[in-house]
Every structure is written in structure tokens, then in C-alpha cells.
Structure 1
Amino acid sequence: MTYRPLADEIRPQTLDEVVGQQHILGENGLLRRIIQGGNIPNLVFYGPSGTGKTTVANLIAKRTHRPLHRLNATTASISDIKDIIGEIGTMLAPDGVLLYLDEIQYFNKKQQQSLLEFMENGKITLIASTTENPYFYVYNAVLSRSTVFEFKPLSAADVLPAIERGIRLMGERLEGEVVCEDGVQTHIAAACGGDVRKAMNAVELLLNSAKREQGKLLVTLADAQTVAQRSAMRYDREGDDHFDIASALMKSLRGSDPDAALHYLARLLEAGDLITAIRRLLCSASEDVGMAYPQAALIVKACVDNALQLGLPEARLPLAQAAVLLATAPKSNSVYRGIAAAQADVRAGKTGDYPRHLQNVHADSAGMEREQGYLYPHDFPNHWVKQKYLPDILAGTQYYIYGENKTEQAARRYWEEIKGRE
């Protein structure tokens, strides 16, 4: 008997059996209505692995009764596309073909362009899938001829029915009654990270290795925890998840939520991505805390240095300390806004000449020395004297605005008192 992976055997045969994706496949979902109508446009399915993209493509093929060709962009070439195009109009595919192109982001521009003519005349109906944002990775001309549907990660509750069904199928396959300890199914559902394929692989491995006693297959929670460990992690250092987790960490720090900050930090550390965690923490110290608590930058840098010396797993402690400090510190983005405004002016060409008294005296040519007129602030009371610093074109421009926090307001009052005396 030919071996068939459980993940393939349990693949849904109808739209009603597809787990999750109610926003597009529910009773009134647009994709469901398109499939039921039978007039299938070019489609791009975008979402994590194991969320039903390939399954829905198979169901569409059954609905349209058109030959289905599958290509994986990681291994396919233009010659593979030409072979498929060669069938069009023959007895093999008189009405065209349905092409399921998995991981389309790995096709270069030339490979994607080779499909355009046949997508245009309807001889090829393309269903492309990708785990990355198609608006970044799919050629614009292909996108303009396609409809994009996002497949969202599945919840543990979505995956649980598939796990129960997989356990029943494995029991039938192995001809034994399956007895699972409490918590086995829910642990697999939670640990698979919304990936049905991962869940089915875990179920298959657990049942194939289960102890058999008196005709019963015994599945322990300890075995389930071993099989499913770390499988909930969705992370690719080159993919969307990398940027999403980094963004979520930064926004949690900015939003003063230490619990969320620790959660996203933990996800980065579990993936072994120490550098991304460090960069976000260092950036937040100046961008989000800034002048409200200037010492935060020093403390975070010390925590980062400790983490780099310790390495993982101990590095998690100083980095967690830095995350909690930043999340609970007072916030000010006055530094961020100030430099952003200054850069905007520079990019717009608002620069002008340096005031003469700010120039480097050694820059003058021999015999052309001129009196600068620079006033040395330390020679004056309170180490300040009124003089012009900005170029004439920017006279009176204010980039830095004191934040509404104790530290910056104290500085504001200090300088207003000194400068107000002039």
C-alpha cells in the first residue's frame, strides 16, 4: 500500500470542510461566491503556511473541470511554464489550464512576465500562493490581472476539529482505539501555530510512535509536548514575520505595555534573533523615551552590552530588563520630531550659508583671514549669549519642541529664565 501523509489524506473535499477563513469562505464570503459561480478569475492567495491555500486551489480545480498543473516557484523554470503553455489548445487542454503556482515570490520578473499573455486571453487561469506580502513580491502586471485574497492564521479552536479527525483516521489506519491523555489535543492545537499541516504531522508522528496496550494506542501529554515543541513559531528572518514581530515589539514599547513588549521580545529570542531585538530596544530608547528620561539610553546600552557578552539563553534577562524599563518609562518623541523636521528642510534644499561666526577659522585662505565675530558662550553668565546659529533662510525656525514631561519642562523653564533676561 502506497504511503499517504495524513495531512494529504485529511485534506478537505468541500468548502464546508475548510477550517477557518470565514471572512472569505463563510456563507457570504466573496471567494466562496466566486468559486460557486464557476467563473474563476486569476487569483493570488496570501497567507501563512498550512492555512488552506493549496486546498482551496484543489477545490477550484474540481469545480471548473479544467486540467490543474502545479508548480513550485522554488524549483520551476521557464521551460516548465513553456511545457504547460504547449498543452493549451490541444486535446489535453482544449479550454485552457488552471495553473497553481506555489511560492510565486521566488519567480523573477521574467518568469512572471512569461505568464502575462496567456493570463490576458484566459488560456491560463493563475492561482498563485505566497507567504509574503504580494504587493512587495509579485510583479505589478501580474497583480493588476489578479484578485488578492488573504488567508489568515488559524486559531487553536479552528484547528482542533481537524486534529480530532486526524486522530480518528490514524486510529482506523493503525486498527486500534486511540486513548489520549487530557490536554493532548488542545496542546497540539495551540502549539501548531495555526498551521493544520504541522498539526497533522504531529498527530501522525504521535500515533505511529504510540504505545500499544491491549489493542489501545496510548498518547501521552509529555509526548505531545515533545513533538510539538517550538512548532508554534512562525518566523523567517527574510519574511513578513520578521518585520511584523519587530514592529509589534517597537509599538508595544512605545505604547507602554510591558507585558506585550516581553511577549514579542520572547518571540524574537525563541527564534534566536538577538540582533533585531537589540536594534529595536536601542532605537526605542531615543525615539520613544528620549528626553523624558535621557538615562534610559545609557541603561539600555548597558543591558545590550551585557546581553552580547552573555549570549543566549542568559541574554534574555538584561534584554527583558531593558524592555520593561522602556515600556514603563515616561515617553517623549520630541527628539524624533525635531530631527525629522530638520531633515525634511535639508532634503527640501533649505540650507543656506553657514553664519560667518560659526565657520572654521582655519578654512580661510592665507592672507584672507577675517574677524569671525564668534561669541564664546562660556565667557558669559550662565554660559549663554544671544547670537545667530541657523542660516538666514531658516532664521526663527523651531525644530525641537519641549515635551510635556517633567524632565523637558524643567529644562524649558531653566532656559526661559536665562534667555528671558536678554
Structure 2
Amino acid sequence: MTLFDPPAPLAERLRPRTLAEVVGQRHLLGPGRPLTRLLESGRLGSLILWGPPGVGKTTLARLVAGEVGAHFIPLSAVTAGVKDVREAVVEAERLRGRGQRTILFLDEIHRFNKAQQDALLPHVESGLLTLIGATTENPSFEVNPALRSRARTLVLEALTQEDVRALLDRALTDPRGLPGVGAEPGALDLIARLADGDARRALSTLEIASTLADPVNEDAVREAFGRHLPAMDKNGEDFYNLISALHKSVRGSHVDASLYWLARMIEGGADTMYVARRIVRMAAEDIGLADPQALRLAVAARDTAEFLGSPEGDLALAQAVVYLALAPKSNSVYVAWNKVREAVREGKTLPVPLHLRNAPTALMRQQGYGTGYAYYFDDPEGSFAQNYLPDGVRLDLYEPTGEGWEARVAERWRRLREAHGEGEEGA
């Protein structure tokens, strides 16, 4: 072995050679489990393997092909296109003439657009190709329904810390791994914890750490790992799940959970300005008029984050999140706004009453624009008595909550409604 002929990465060298060597995915493998039953039946159809990175999607696809004696054609949707699919079809047709089936493995299938996915359909439908697609994205959103209906989706799970620890122990004893390299138990536990269920990440960290210290210790692991970024797909389902968790934690007034989900997003590399915009929305949607200062603080936090950048500006977002979580909550304006939008969409266009119309010219005034308008500061009682909606329209939209600022003005709102003739009888 020379500098110009380096060994394969540890994760590649330790790739399982049989299904029995696979670590994790016990819900799919083993006696009576779904994938085992498919292989035993001899009627293996197309599959979509959905799961996080580093859990063995590619490995499983290769092993399945070996179990059924199929020719294996691996493609990556990042670099492949329709031309590559056509070449795979030609090869599959040639092999079918010899009585051999072909499995087309398409890694990151979610990166194929609709037209590219449609190009696979006739060949999957005819049985010429058995497709195994691998994706980290939810197939419900990223795989065409027609293709999805012709494949069974199997969900792969992130490896547990115990699974990762077992892989690390194997790496230190297997002749293909790092035989002779020592490691402190605490160092291996640290790798298992930091790996976030990703076997490839764990083995890569161990391999680098083994060049920094012998035996491998925790300091070497931290140096090898670098700054730990929690796994997060910035454009996929995980990203929106984190946003959802942050928003719901703020709404539920759980400060620690709110900070935790915010940190998960920031440390995972989320777009800071997107997170900031969502925080502003939380202030408007869930705090609302229970604390009118919340929106100002959220906007100020957004401006600060943009001005300072990360990591300095992240503190402003954390401050806003804590404030919003602690603030009294009201969605009264949010509910009222949704109601009135629906009312406007469903109703016909009605004219503005004459007394409310703008009358900048003499001709408009001659037509009655503005006539009869009661100016509040000249005639408060008349101002309350006049109609402010189109003729025949009655609405009951805004209902203040009993929290914060709204609790203080609820009585004024009740009196105003009565003054406008909008008490319970007319509501």
C-alpha cells in the first residue's frame, strides 16, 4: 500500500457481507420480519428504502441483490440522468435473455425530477427492472405517486447508541478494520453518542482518531469529530419538523424546549433569517395582542441577527424565543383575520357605504360621498351609532382572550360593541 494507492475508508471496508452481519434494523430483518419474508417468498418487488444517512440503505440494497442472485446496477440520482437509465435498460434486456434479473439501485431517488422518475415507470411495471430507491426524504412528497404505488416503502431507523458501539467494537477486532488499535471505552461511548445514529460518521471518526492517539481517547475523538453539527436536512422533512417543534414549544410556554429546538436548528446549519422570520410569525400568531411588545422584540431580534450575523446574532434570537415562550398568549387576531378572509372570499363584492367613502372632489360630494359621516371627535355618540360595514353585512370576528393586555381591554371591547349595537343579541 502506497500514498498513491490508499486503502478504502473504514466504513467501506467493514460493509456487511451478509444480512447476518447487518447491525440495527431489527424491525426489518430476522425471522418473520418484513424484508426477510420478502426474500424467503422469492417474490421480491421494487422497494423504496427511506431513512436517515448512514443506516445501511446502500448496503441492504446490495445484500438483497446478492440474496436473490440479481445483477446490481448502482446509480446516484445526483449525477445520473435519463441517459443512464436507458443504458441500464439495455443491460437489463441483455441479461434477461440469459435468464438473469436486474436490480437498479437509485441512491437519493428524491433528486430525480418527475420526468426522470416517469422514465423508470414502464420498465418497473414490466418487471424488466426491479427498482430499489434510497432516500432520506419522505417518499410521500418526493417520489411520484405512480412510481411509489409500484414499490413497497421500508422505513429504516437511525442506529441506537448500542448499535453504533457494537460497530466500533467490530472495527477494532475485524481483520478488515483496525486490528491492533486500542481505544478507551469512554472514547468509544463518546463516538457512539456524537454519531447521531450514523454508522458511516462513527467509523470515519474512529479512523481519524486512531491516527491522532493510541489508544484512542476522548480528546482525539473530539479533535477528529470537529464541531459536532446535529444531523438535519436543511430542505427536507426533518427541517420542518424542527421548526414545528420550536413553534409548538413557544406556544406551549416551554422555555427550555424552545431553546433546545432553536439550538438544534442553528447548530444544524439552518438559514438564520428563515428561523428569524418564523420567530416574528410566532409573535404575531400566538402572542398577538396579549403582549403587543412581543412583535417589536421579535422584529428587533431579526434585525440584530441580520446585522451581527452568526454566532453573535444568534443570542438575539434566543432572547426573543425566551420572551415569546414566557409571554401571555393570544391568537384572537389570527383567528379573526382567518375568519374575515374567508368571509371576503365567499361573499360578493359589496359597495362601500356612501358616508364612509373618500370625497376629495366637488363632484364626489355632490354624489353623496362622505355625506352623513359622524366624525368621532365632533360626535362620539353619532360615530358609534353609524354603520361601518356594507349594508346587510354582520360580522362577529374578534374575541379578546383573558391574557395580558387583552385582559385589560376586554371590558372596553365589550362596551364598544354595545355602543355599536353589536351586543350578544345582534352578534
Same fold, TM exceeding 0.5? yes
Question: Cα 1:397–1:222, aligned 2, differ >3 Å: closer, same or farther?
Answer: same
Paired positions, count: 413
Q: Deviations over 1:86-123 (max 9, x none)?
A: 12343475343111111112222222222111111211
Question: Cα 1:352–1:259, aligned 2, differ >3 Å: closer, same or farther?
Answer: same
The range that moved more, 319-328 or 157-166, is: 157-166
Q: Is the 8 A contact 2:251 2:286 kept in 1?
A: yes
Corresponding position of 1:392: 391
1:254-333 → structure 2 map (5 Å cutoff): 254-270=251-267, 271=269, 273-333=271-331
Cα distance in 1, alignment partners of residues 149 and 289 from structure 2: 47
Corresponding position of 1:38: 42
Where does structure 2 lack aligned partners over 5 or more consecutive residues?
Answer: 422-427
Cα distance in 2, alignment partners of residues 223 and 383 from structure 1: 80
The 3-state SS of whatever aligns with 2:38 is helix
Corresponding position of 1:68: 72
Corresponding position of 1:185: 188
The 3-state SS of whatever aligns with 1:330 is coil
Instruction: State yes or no: 1:49 paired with 2:56.
Output: no
Coordinate RMSD, CA, aligned: 2.5
Corresponding position of 1:342: 340
Cα distance in 2, alignment partners of residues 128 and 286 from structure 1: 42
Corresponding position of 1:214: none
Question: Cα 1:129–1:91, aligned 2, differ >3 Å: closer, same or farther?
Answer: closer
Instruction: State yes or no: 1:20 paired with 2:17.
Output: no
Question: Cα 1:306–1:210, aligned 2, differ >3 Å: closer, same or farther?
Answer: closer
Corresponding position of 2:425: none
Deviation for aligned residue 1:286: 0.9
Deviation for aligned residue 1:74: 1.0
Instruction: State yes or no: 1:242 paired with 2:246.
Output: no
Deviation for aligned residue 1:293: 1.5
Q: Is the 8 A contact 1:285 1:297 kept in 2?
A: yes
Deviation for aligned residue 1:350: 4.6
Deviation for aligned residue 1:326: 0.9
Q: Deviations over 1:396-419 (max 9, x none)?
A: 221222223243233221132354
The structure 1 residue matched to 2:121, chosen from 92, 107, 116, is 116
Q: Deviations over 1:245-273 (max 9, x none)?
A: 22221122112211111112112222163
Question: Cα 1:156–1:232, aligned 2, differ >3 Å: closer, same or farther?
Answer: farther
Q: Deviations over 1:301-331 (max 9, x none)?
A: 2233333332222212221111111112121
Corresponding position of 2:109: 104
Cα distance in 2, alignment partners of residues 417 and 91 from structure 1: 84
Q: Is the 8 A contact 1:89 1:96 kept in 2?
A: no
Q: Is the 8 A contact 1:289 1:332 kept in 2?
A: yes
The 3-state SS of whatever aligns with 2:78 is coil
Question: Cα 1:272–1:82, aligned 2, differ >3 Å: closer, same or farther?
Answer: closer
Identity %: 38
Q: Is the 8 A contact 2:49 2:57 kept in 1?
A: yes
Q: Is the 8 A contact 1:190 1:232 kept in 2?
A: no
1:359-378 → structure 2 map (5 Å cutoff): 359-362=357-360, 368-372=366-370, 373-378=372-377
Deviation for aligned residue 1:382: 8.3
Deviation for aligned residue 1:374: 1.9
Q: Is the 8 A contact 1:191 1:229 kept in 2?
A: no
User: Which letter does structure 1 place at the counterpart of 2:309?
Assistant: G
The structure 1 residue matched to 2:89, chosen from 78, 85, 88, is 85
Where does structure 1 lack aligned partners over 5 or more consecutive residues?
Answer: 212-216
Cα distance in 2, alignment partners of residues 25 and 341 from structure 1: 51
The 3-state SS of whatever aligns with 1:362 is coil
Q: Is the 8 A contact 1:46 1:149 kept in 2?
A: yes
Question: Cα 1:231–1:299, aligned 2, differ >3 Å: closer, same or farther?
Answer: closer
User: Which letter does structure 1 place at the counterpart of 2:88?
Assistant: I
Instruction: State yes or no: 1:159 paired with 2:164.
Output: yes
